[in-house]
Amino acid sequence: NIVLTQSPATLSVTPGESVSLSCRASQSISTSIHWYQQKSNESPRLLIKYASQSISGIPSRFSGSGSGTDFTLSINRVESEDFSIYYCQQSYSSLFTFGSGTKLEIK
C-alpha cells in the first residue's frame, strides 16, 4: 500500500496568516493526489484534484503543488471558516489511501 504522511498533525495559526500543509507519499505517485477539507460533523469536501487542479466553487485562496512524493496544500490568508481538518488522498494505486490529516486550529 502507498502510505501518505501528513505534517504537521496540528497547525495553530492566526486568521490572516498564510499556511502550507504537507503530504508525503511512500513512493513516487506522479500528481495523483487530491485534497479534502472536513469540518466537524460534516462530510469531506474536495478542494484540489491532481495535486494542483482547482475545483469549481472552491475559494481561490486554496492551491496545491507538488509531484512525485512531496505535495503541498497552501491556504493564502486563512479565514475563520478554514479551521478544520485537511486530508490528502492518492489514486496512483487502485487501492486508494488517505493521509492521517492535518488539523488547522486557531492560535
Query: Is 37 among the residues that bind other proteins (CB under 8 A)?
Result: no
Query: Is 58 among the residues that bind other proteins (CB under 8 A)?
Result: no
Query: Which of these ranges, 15-23, 47-55, 58-66, 67-75, lies near other proteins under the rule CB under 8 A?
Result: 47-55
For residues 35 and 72, which CB has a smaller minimum distance to other proteins in the complex? 35
Q: CA torsion sign, 53 to 77 to 22 to 96?
A: negative
Dump the DSSP string for the chain: ---EEEE-SEEEE-TT--EEEEEEESS--TT-EEEEEE-TTS--EEEEETTTEE-TTS-TTEEEEEETTEEEEEESS--GGG-SEEEEEE-SSSS-EE---EEEEE-
Query: Is 71 among the residues that bind other proteins (CB under 8 A)?
Result: no
Query: Is 94 among the residues that bind other proteins (CB under 8 A)?
Result: yes
Query: Is 44 among the residues that bind other proteins (CB under 8 A)?
Result: yes
For residues 38 and 69, which CB has a smaller minimum distance to other proteins in the complex? 38
- The contact set with other proteins (CB under 8 A) reads 1, 32, 34, 36, 38, 43-46, 49-50, 55, 85, 87, 89, 91, 94-101
